[in-house]
Structures are given as C-alpha cells and as structure tokens.
Amino acid sequence: MNEEKTPSKLEKILRAGHLAVTSECGPPRGSEAGHITKKAEMIRNHVDAVNITDNQTSVTRLCSLAACIHLKMMGLEPVLQMVTRDRNRIAIQSDILGAASFDIFNILCLSGDHQSFGDNPKGQNVFDLDSMQLIQTVRHMRDEGKFLGGDSIERPPRMFVGAAANPFADPFEIRVPRLAKKIAAGVEFIQTQCIYNVEKFELWLKLARERGLTEKIFILAGVTPFKSVGMAKYMKNRVPGMDVPDELVKRMSGVAKEKQPEEGLQICVETIQRLKEQKGVRGFHIMAIEWEEKVPEIVERSGLYPRPNVN
C-alpha cells in the first residue's frame, strides 16, 4: 500500500499517511473558464485535490476534461470525474489519453446519473461500460499499457484510480461486497457519498474493515454542509441514495433561518471531527455545493489545516 503508482499528489499524501482533503467544483454551463478558476482559487490552499464533475445530474456543462486542464494550468491537482453514461469505450479511452497528455493524474470512475434527471431526458444513454469496467479500463491502460483492444499505448496514462461508494444506498447488504468488487476491479481510492447518517457509515466502515478492505484502499469520507433546513429536507427526500437522519433536519430547523448556514457548517465540522478518529477513514471529500467559499473554513475548523506539503 505504500508503493506509489503514479505521480499523483493525492496519492502521495495518502500514502504518506496524511488525512487527505479533496473538494469539488462543478464546471459552468457555458464557456467562461473564469467561473471555475475563481472557485478553485478560493480553495487552492485548503485542499489537496479538486474533483471536476462530469455533467453531474445529467445537466450539460463545460466538459470535465477541459475544466481539469484549467485547474492544472493554475497549478492545482485536479481529479477528473468520468461517467460512462455519455461515452462509449472509444471515447473513454480517448479522453483518458487526452487527460494524461495534460498530466492529469487522478480519475474518478463513475456510471453517472440517469439522463432522465437532466436537461436532455429524451436522449440516448451509452453505458457501454459500467463504473467497475471503467476502473478496469483505466487500470488496464495504465498497468498493461494497452488499449482494451489489445494494442499498446505509447505513453500510457499514469492515473490514480478512484471511484465512488455510497454506504447508504439500498440494498445495504451489498454495499461492502460492492466495495470489494470495485477493489477487485482495481480501484485505489474511494470518495463516499455525503455522510449524514454517521452511525450507518461507521457500520459500513466496520464491515469493510472486517473484510480487510480498508487496508487495500484509501477511503475519503464525503461531507456536504447544509446551507439551510430546506437543503437538508431536499437532500433527505429528493436526492436518491442520500440518508439524512431526522435528527439533523430537526437540528437545522431548530435554529433561526439566518443561523442555519452556521449550524450546517457546524454539523459538517462535527462529522469530520468524529470520523477523523475512525480507522479506515483516510481523508475527506468536502462537497460544498455552490458554497466553495466555505471549504477553507470547514478545513480549518476541522483541524485539517494546514495541508501537508509532499512535493
């Protein structure tokens, strides 16, 4: 677990035994790169790497790879999110090579939300591969230096391979086997779904530990601060695969509206602090949705600042 496979800064930090901190930025719905660079600027000193989402919730945006390049050019460490929804295996391999050509060293392999949620519900989806198969594909390209078709790659990509895990989705009984399956496929780090139900997460983690999975990969616990009680309720009721306990909704609604953002941040910080102590948690993935400016504060208040320097 100590052997570095890529030049990824994220990998380095993790392998060095630090708690890693990642965050994410959604690309704009236009070609104005400033949007993304501005967001990145806000958090550059407080996170180790920044995920760039790939047309999240199936809403068409500036492409993930291009955004990653902007980040890279700013000297930041991007994590290229890639969904299998929109690309067949040719496009996927091609994009991976494209990313690799800009020395993007991190990739997060996802299947992606169904297109019916987005702005083109009548469109076709691809799903030539699923997320597991994408992991396999990246590892194949990197480790074997070959395309799926078997031909050799000149300068194979060097990418630290990540995937998502949702400890809260149903059926719960396969959450850990599914993690094991992703590991078997070759994943190296995991960013989890936003954790609100800490007990359930801990149970998942415990089961993963018991199978020795936490030793094989790096798990970054995902957190998202509530901006308001409305958001808490929305996450609870409307976002598939999200598990928001009633206590939290109650806690949010227990404070005055103007104090709710603070309460949301506080919950987030408390969560991080509690999970820091959990064996198997190797870092945090802070998804401050349209609230990137608060990431530094969260990092600081959680005692994760300053970030280590591994170069």
Partner 1 sequence: MIVAKQKPIEEIIETLKGYNKILILGCNECVTVCEAGGKKEVAVLASALRMYFMNQGQEVKIEEATLERQCDHEYLEEIRKTVDQYDAVLSLACGVGVQFLAEKYMHTPILPGVDTCFMGVTEERGVWSERCQGCGQCILAWTAGICPVSRCAKRLLNGPCGGSSKGKCEINKEVPCAWQIIIDRLNELGRMEDYERLIPIKDWSTERAGGPRKVVREDVRS
Report CA-CA distances (Å) from 170 to 38, 144, 175.
37, 35, 8
What's the CA gap between 52 and 28, in Å, rounded? Answer: 11
Task: Kindly state whether residue 112 participates in binding partner 1, applying the rule CB under 8 A.
Answer: yes
- For partner 1, the binding residue among 180, 203, 207, 289 (CB under 8 A) is 180
Window contacting partner 1 (CB under 8 A); options: 4-12, 67-75, 133-141, 218-226: 133-141
- The answer to whether 148 contacts partner 1 (rule: CB under 8 A) is yes
Stretch that binds partner 1, among 10-18, 169-177, 201-209, 221-229 (CB under 8 A): 169-177
Q: Which stretch binds partner 1 (CB under 8 A): 8-16, 20-28, 162-170, 198-206?
A: 162-170
Pick the closer one to partner 1 by CB: 8 or 111. Answer: 111
Q: Which of 22, 23, 37, 111 binds partner 1 (CB under 8 A)?
A: 111
Three-class secondary structure of residue 156 per DSSP: coil
CB of 124 to partner 1, least distance (A): 11
Q: 60: closest CA among 113, 96, 139? A: 113
**Binder of partner 1 out of 136, 191, 214, 271 (CB under 8 A):** 136
CA-to-CA distance for 287 and 54, rounded, in angstroms? Answer: 14
Torsion angle (degrees, nearest 10) of CA 25, 27, 33, 34: -50
Q: Which of 166, 214, 224, 260 touches partner 1 by CB under 8 A?
A: 166
Q: Which stretch binds partner 1 (CB under 8 A): 26-34, 125-133, 218-226, 282-290?
A: 125-133
Q: Is residue 193 near partner 1 by the rule CB under 8 A?
A: yes
Residue placing its CB nearer to partner 1 in the complex, 4 or 210:
210
Both tokens of 4, joined, read 């570095």
As a whole number of angstroms, the distance between CA 221 and CA 175 comes to 15
Tokens of 101: 């050509």
> Could you count the other beta carbons within 10 Å of the beta carbon of residue 223?
23
| Residue nearer to partner 1 on the CB measure, 45 or 116 | 116
Measured CA to CA, the distance from residue 258 to residue 124 in angstroms comes to 43
- Pairwise CA distance, residues 167 & 117, whole Å: 22
By CB under 8 A, tell whether 142 contacts partner 1. no
Of the listed pieces 27-35, 177-185, 281-289, 299-307, which binds partner 1 according to CB under 8 A? 177-185
Q: Is the Cβ–Cβ distance between 151 and 126 less than 8 Å? A: no
Query: What torsion do the CA atoms of 177, 207, 299, 158 make, to the nearest 10 degrees?
Result: -40
The binder of partner 1 chosen from 7, 34, 230, 240 (CB under 8 A): 240
Task: Provide the mask over 212-231, with x wherever binding to partner 1 is found by CB under 8 A and - wherever it is not.
Answer: --------------------
Cβ at position 116, least distance to partner 1 in Å: 5
Report which of 128, 83, 81, 77 is spatially closest to residue 105, judged by C-alpha positions. 77
Asked if 58 interacts with partner 1 (CB under 8 A), we say no
Q: Which is nearer to partner 1, 73 or 239 (CB)?
A: 239
DSSP 183-238: HHHT--EEEEEEP--HHHHHHHHHHHHHTTGGGTSEEEEEE---SSHHHHHHHHHH
Exactly one of 17, 30, 149, 171 binds partner 1 (CB under 8 A); that residue is 171
Question: Which residues make up the interface to partner 1 (CB under 8 A)?
Answer: 85, 89, 111-114, 116-117, 125, 127-133, 136-137, 148, 164, 166, 169-171, 173-174, 177-178, 180-181, 184-185, 193, 240-241
